[in-house]
Structure 1
């Protein structure tokens, strides 16, 4: 339940990071991928998400060992893309505020989470 206050700018950036992950995952899940096309697909994913507002950077790394194992176990020369083949880092920013979010495998599940929030304030140690 809402406490009636509007979200902070840092909270809005966290929401933006979630939107980017939702777009990335659901736009590309199921795409046919092979070792030969994995880097090109990762680059296309990065470019597509970087087009969105507040997106500072996107890094998509293909977990090649996982992809190779799935290809070896399958009957085709490709597999369908799922989160288990990817590690993703997204940075969203607005002015001096920045949110870093990652998708990494966690106990067999591609977990998307906020890693850090920099709200632009300076900690002077007091």
Structure 2
């Protein structure tokens, strides 16, 4: 395939792939019932699910159980971005992109940490 000046670079493609992973992760699992007791198995399920996607090198999910306890009613609450810290690493054509999701100003912000 011939390339042109408007073709995305490998770094841009890697960042795009990271965005796809976060979109799938957030929208697939937001709303899942979770409790401090079920959090570890849900972390594993999320990690393994997203790692199945192309170019996903590693996924690390931490569900913040102390925050869950503060907001639980009836023994559980629904998973949202305010209860998670996530790192997704994508490897695309030798370009490694590290991305994170953390709460910032009340919003689950997803950002690119590094591209190498």
Give the TM-score band, short-chain normalised.
over 0.9
Greater CA radius of gyration, 1 or 2?
1
In the alignment of these two chains, the number of paired residues is 112
Is 1:6 the counterpart of 2:7 in the alignment? yes
Q: Equivalent residues in 2 for 1:40-119 (5 A)? A: 40-71=41-72, 74=73, 76-118=74-116
Extract unaligned runs of 5+ from structure 2.
Answer: none
Q: Which runs of 4+ in 1 moved over 2 A?
A: none
CA-atom RMSD, angstroms? Answer: 1.0
Counterpart position of 2:16: 15
TM-score, with length taken from structure 1:
0.86
Aligned-partner Cα distance in 2 for 1:94–1:22: 18
Length-normalised TM-score, structure 2: 0.93
CA distance in structure 1 between the aligned counterparts of 2:85 and 2:92, rounded to whole angstroms: 24
